[in-house]
């Protein structure tokens, strides 16, 4: 999977040597090009840190006053503070309302809003993110968090297909890992007819990580595992992802106002 070629500038003075090394290692074989903050131009990104808060800012012309930045703060951002009422909770229903903790593999971590939700529901969560810069931001924000429910999520920088291959192989890292449910939330295709305006940070996020054009293939691979339950998040107006595996029943649908969860149970 190719990432868009993107230039990211950072101020060396605000990063530790270790952080710079980590970033360099993570982005080594990607389409991200790291450089000094003084070398970036309009439409490049600036990776910045203020105290323990990291953000990714899209550089805009000076005439545009509102600059947009994506910041991840698990303890302050409202996205992670949603109150969970188990009885009405669609993700909890999608998991089959378990009485005890399940092992959930979130194959599309993104901003980890859903991974945090699963963790708050008492699940043990392993979350995969293939975008190396987003992974860097996620793990930095995670170590800055004061909450055990956030810190206990295992976030891994991996392509879902690579990870899924490894758990079904022998003698490699992660071999034999077993999950009760796999969660899949690929980036939605751009809507032709726009409805409610997404938040600017969400647009920046979408622009930065790009579309997940391989969603059908990844879903197909998930269905070849023996996981008892697959949950796919979809926009309500979108059709279900094609499920080529006869091992799974037709999806049960849990529908909310904006999204729905298609739950495929193994026969
Ligand atoms: C729509 S976002 C997920 C949002 C997430 N559910 C949340 O609550 O924040 C999709 C994310 O999954 C990542 N992603 C998509 N396909 C992936 C794959 N095959 N392997 C690993 N990460 C993937 C993308 O880079 C993007 O960050």
CA of 107 to the centre of ligand 1 (A): 7
Give the pLDDT confidence score for residue 2 in this predicted structure. Answer: 54
Q: What are phi and psi of 57, to 5 degrees?
A: -110, 135
Distance 106 CA to ligand 1 centre (A): 9
108 touches ligand 1 (CB under 6 Å): yes
CB 45 within 8 A of CB 57: yes
Shortest-distance atom of ligand 1 to CA 116: 8
At 166-202, the pLDDT tens digits run 998 888 888 889 999 999 999 987 666 656 667 888 8
What pLDDT was estimated at residue 231? 98
Q: Whose CA is nearest to atom 1 of ligand 1?
A: 187
The 10s digit of each residue's pLDDT in 118-148 is 999 999 999 999 999 999 999 999 999 999 9
CB of 160 shorter than 6 A to ligand 1: yes
Cα(65) to centroid(ligand 1), Å:
30
Note whether 184 and 107 are within 8 A (CB): yes
pTM for the predicted model, two decimal places: 0.94
The residue whose C-alpha atom lies closest to atom 17 belonging to ligand 1 is 108
**Domains defined along the chain, listed by start:** 6-71 (3.40.1630), 78-265 (3.40.50.150)
pLDDT grade for 25, boundaries at 50, 70 and 90: very high
Mean pLDDT of the chain: 92
Q: What are phi and psi of 125, to 5 degrees?
A: -115, 130
3 pLDDT higher than 70: no
């Amino acid at each position: 999977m190719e990432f868009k070629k993107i230039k990211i500038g950072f101020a060396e003075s605000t990063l530790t040597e270790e952080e710079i090394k980590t970033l360099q290692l993570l982005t080594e074989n990607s389409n991200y090009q790291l450089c000094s903050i003084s070398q970036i131009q309009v439409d490049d990104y600036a990776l910045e840190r203020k105290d323990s808060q990291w953000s990714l800012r899209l550089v805009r012309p000076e005439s545009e006053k509102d600059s947009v930045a994506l910041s991840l703060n698990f303890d302050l951002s409202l996205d992670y503070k949603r109150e969970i009422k188990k009885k009405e909770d669609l993700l909890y229903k999608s998991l089959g309302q378990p009485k005890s903790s399940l092992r959930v593999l979130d194959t599309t971590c993104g901003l980890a809003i859903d991974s945090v939700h699963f963790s708050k529901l008492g699940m043990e969560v392993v979350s995969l993110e293939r975008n190396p810069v987003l992974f860097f931001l996620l793990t930095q924000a995670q170590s800055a968090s004061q909450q055990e429910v956030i810190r206990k999520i295992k976030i891994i920088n991996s392509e879902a297909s690579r990870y899924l291959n490894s758990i079904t192989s022998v003698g490699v890292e992660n071999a034999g890992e077993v999950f009760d449910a796999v969660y899949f939330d690929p980036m939605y295709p751009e809507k032709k007819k726009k409805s409610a305006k997404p938040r600017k940070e969400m647009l920046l996020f979408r622009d930065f990580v790009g579309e997940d054009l391989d969603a059908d293939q990844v879903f197909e691979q998930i269905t070849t595992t023996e996981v008892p339950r697959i949950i796919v998040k979809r926009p309500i107006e979108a059709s279900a992802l094609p499920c080529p595996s006869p091992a799974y029943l037709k999806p049960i649908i849990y529908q909310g106002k904006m999204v729905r969860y298609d739950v495929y149970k193994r026969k």
